[in-house]
Amino acid sequence: MTKTWIIRLIALNFSCLFFASIYSCKEKTTSLPILSYNYDEGKKATYRIEDFSFVNQDSLIFTSANTLGKVHTFNFFFTSCPSICPPMRLQQLEIAKTFQEEPKFMQCSISIDLKRDSISTLKNFADVFEINSKNWNLLRAKSEKELHEMAGKLKTNFKPNDDYTDFYHSSYVALIDKEQYIRGFYNLLLPKDVELLKADIFMLLKD
Amino acid sequence: MKRRFKIILIFLFVALCGGYIYFKSLKVRHQELIKSKVYYTLGLVDNTWKKELTDSKVTYTTPTFVISNLYKSMEGPKSDEFVVIDDSKEELLWLTSFKTKAVSADETRNMSNDFVCHTNFEYRDAEHYNRLGFTERIGQHYPRITSISNGVESFDLPEGFGFPVFSNERLFLNAQALNHNITDSIFSIKHKIEIGYTSNKQQQLIPLQPKTIFMMFPFDIKDPFKGPTEAIPNACIPVETKNHTYYNNEGNPLSGHWIFTPGKHHYAYDTTEQLKIKDSIRLHQITAHLHPFAEKFILKDKTTNTIIYQCNSENYANKIGLKSTPTFSSKEGVWLYEDHVYEMLLDVNNTTNKDQEMMASMAIFYYDKDMDNKINSLKL
């Protein structure tokens, strides 16, 4: 009788520790404000991330019709990026894994290297890193104008160096809700921001 | 059944012994991370952050910190939290004061601030600057508003000045406990962190831009704990080579957290590059972050040979700890110029017979003209 109870107590302790660990990993969040807005003469004007048209790694047209009704992220990258893209990609692969069973979530990464990142390059890149267009679209714009318009909407910027061999771009992703409003910005190079992003995705998925 | 039970017990015993040996081999700061995780996940102590809000201040109370060891800087129990001041509305606020105090775990008694290592107050730069239409500023500065540390329990920005944030903007707090002296008891504390603010509707204040400048010294990456050599005569002995290690333009490592031996030492560091002044800035506030045994910390305009700020810190006579590190505050401000050279000078006196650890930084605030123009143009 005593032995049984000792075993039960040990099992209970481990169970408590396990469930408490899972619970404690979740960041507490409050409601998220809409951050896609501009001020005009003291008046706040919100806007949606829409009216864009890109092509994804599967050579399919990708527009705001694909993101409507889905929680999604947008960021800029380029496949030959030697600096911040590889660690960002590791985090994005982890996010893709976390939400792989969630049909209402996707990541969108737009290449800023129009010269080298053809659709076939994006396809090869997706194949190498097992990026599935079901939940992560690698996108190509048709012109720099489109890229800069999208950067303006996403409240970020990028800049090629003089010989176009490298680009400055941000390590942030914008989190966008099902209604296509920006609800947060997260630095993928900071582990705490990545945890916060995951918690916020969970929260927006429940909305 | 009996045999299986014995095997389980032996397995548990071996696992516990192995875990204990591994745990004891860790550095104090890592041991504390594990201990806190166990306390919080098992609910043995309060593991939640709490908030109290009034019209002029917000107070955050940390989870419980169990003090069960001696902790030098960066070693004690700690907790981080993303916070918002008031998400029931969206309005521009001006942060004007910062305070941290240690209290008992039941929050009924004030405790000595000897148990406060630091509180870091940070904004999240993408959200912060995008809200204000300042996208180009993202990534330009480390997004720290300021830091409170042992010896500086609180400070107010000069009257009429503030740091702008939105009421529903996410901020980040990091609090860590300290214990230089108590070895004969185990007890629990919390930190109460107060941020004073004014609503922009009540009064539009003058914006200040925060920045942290800090001393750091080179070390040999191949033999980091060797100290000064012929090749690196001003080398320091870093406390460790992971955290607080920075790289200069030549790619050489420098440490902002170093070890110093018993006795008096003098350090000098050219901070011109860190200040990165474009044309000029008007400095209004400085809060020093120092460790025990620091005696004098100076910011000097080397070009004009003028002392801008001299912090004569006071150490306790009968125990290890900083009693006070006076801040600099000025409504008129002091001008700093792009073509001047600025230097930080530090005098320390290690009165013990053991090596000690030092950090020396200044959290500065200067007038933010571009933000002033931006807020005026937005007509918030």
Higher-confidence position of B28 and A142: A142
Interface mutation target, options B5, B36, B138, chain A, most CBs of A under 10 Å? B138
Question: Are B254 and B246 in contact, with CB atoms under 8 Å apart?
Answer: yes
If one counts the domains in chain B, the total is: 3
Structural domain contains residue B324: yes
In this prediction, residue B221 carries a pLDDT of 84
Residue B69 covered by a domain: yes
For residue B360, pLDDT over 80 is answered with yes
- The C-alpha atoms of residue A89 and residue A97 are separated, in whole angstroms, by 12
Same domain, B39 and B64: no
Please report which confidence band the pLDDT of residue A166 belongs to, taking 50, 70 and 90 as the band edges: low
* pLDDT cut 90: percent of chain A above it: 71
B28 and B151 both lie in a single domain: no
Q: Is residue B377 part of a domain?
A: no
Residue A2 has pLDDT above 90, yes or no: no
Do the domain assignments include residue B360? yes
Instruction: Name chain B contacts of A155, Cβ cutoff 8 Å.
Output: 126, 130, 135
- For residue B24, the model assigns a pLDDT of 84
Least confident of A19-28, B86-95, B258-267: A19-28
Domain membership flag for residue B81: yes
Domain finish residue from B44, B59, B76: B44
pLDDT > 70: what percent of chain B? Answer: 100
The per-residue pLDDT for B258 is 95
Residue range B126-171, pLDDT digits in tens: 999 999 989 889 988 899 999 999 889 899 999 999 999 999 999 9
> Would the pLDDT of A20 be above 50?
no
Mean pLDDT of chain A: 86
Residues B243 and B364 in one domain: yes
Say yes or no: B246 and B303 in one domain. Answer: yes
Q: With b meaning 16 or more CB within 10 Å and e meaning fewer, what string describes A127-166?
A: eebebebebbbbbbbeeeebbeebbebbbbbbebeeeeeb
Q: Confirm whether B99 is domain-assigned.
A: yes
Nearest to A172 among B8, B80, B126 (CB): B126
* Among A39, A40, A74, A76, the residue to mutate for chain B (most B Cβ within 10 A): A39
Q: Indicate if B289 and B275 belong to the same structural domain.
A: yes
Q: Which CATH number fits domain A54-206: 3.40.30.10, 3.30.2270.10, 3.40.50.300, 3.40.50.20?
A: 3.40.30.10
Give the model confidence (pLDDT) of A59-112 as tens digits.
999 999 999 999 999 999 999 988 889 999 999 999 999 999 999 999 999 999
CB A200 within 8 A of CB B82: no
Is the pLDDT assigned to residue A7 strictly greater than 90? Answer: no
**Per-residue pLDDT tens over the stretch B54-84:** 999 999 999 999 999 999 888 999 999 999 9
Q: What is the DSSP string of A105-163?
A: EEEEEEES-TTT--HHHHHHHHHHTT--TTTEEEEE-S-HHHHHHHHHHTT--EEE-TT
Query: Which residues 6+ apart lie within 8 Å of B64 measured at CB?
Result: B39, B45, B46, B47, B105, B188, B189, B190
Label residue A162 by pLDDT band (50, 70, 90): low
The answer to whether A35 contacts B380, with C-beta atoms less than 8 Å apart, is no
Mention every residue, 6+ apart, whose C-beta is less than 8 A from residue A148. Answer: none
Please answer yes or no on whether A39 and B5 come within 8 Å at the CB atom: no
What is the pTM for the complete model shown?
0.88
Q: Are residues B198 and B276 in the same domain?
A: no
Higher pLDDT, B30 or A92: A92
Pair (B63, B183) in one structural domain = yes
> Residue A83 has what pLDDT?
85
3-class secondary-structure state, position B201: coil
Angle at A118 between CA A113 and CA A119, to 5 degrees: 125
Pick from B44, B62, B79: which residue ends a domain? B44
Mean pLDDT of chain B: 94
pLDDT at A165: 64
Question: Which of B5, B13, B79, B82 to mutate to probe the A interface, most A CBs <10 Å?
Answer: B82
Within 13 Å of residue B170, how many CA atoms lie on the same side as its CB? 26
- Predicted confidence (pLDDT) per residue in A117-134, tens digit: 999 999 999 999 999 999
**Is B325 inside a domain boundary?**
yes
Rounded mean pLDDT of A10-19?
Answer: 48
Question: d(Cα A90, Cα A73) in Å, to the nearest integer?
Answer: 15
Q: Is the pLDDT of residue A137 over 50?
A: yes
Rounded alpha-carbon distances, angstroms, from residue B350 to A123, B8, B269, B315: 62, 52, 20, 11
Residue A167 has pLDDT above 90, yes or no: no
Read off the pLDDT of each residue in B313-333 and give the average, rounded to a whole number. 95
CATH number of the domain that residue B89 is part of = 2.60.120
Contact flag A185-B124 (C-beta cutoff 8 Å): yes
How many whole angstroms separate alpha carbon A61 and alpha carbon B114?
62
Asked whether A134 and A72 are in contact (CB, 8 A), the reply is no
Question: Is the pLDDT at B230 greater than 90, yes or no?
Answer: no
Amino acid occupying residue B174? N
Res A140: pLDDT? 97
- What average pLDDT does this structure show over B310-316? 96
pLDDT at A25 over 50: no
The alpha carbon of residue A153 is apart from the nearest alpha carbon of chain B, in Å, by 11
The answer to the question of residue B271 being in a domain is yes
B189 and B258 fall within a common domain: no
Across residues B332-351, what is the average pLDDT?
A: 97
Residues B66 and B201 in one domain: yes
The pLDDT, as a whole number, for residue A43 is 86
pLDDT for residue B344 is more than 50: yes
Give chain A positions within 8 Å (CB) of B124: 185, 187, 193
Question: Which of B151, B173, B206 is the endpoint of a domain?
Answer: B206
Structural domain containing residue B25 = 1-44
Write down the pLDDT at residue A164: 61
Q: Examine the domain organization and report whether B40 and B56 are in the same domain.
A: no
Distance CA B17, CA B11 (A): 10
Give how far B378 is from chain A: nearest CA, Å.
5
Hey, which residues does B217 pair with through a beta bridge? B255
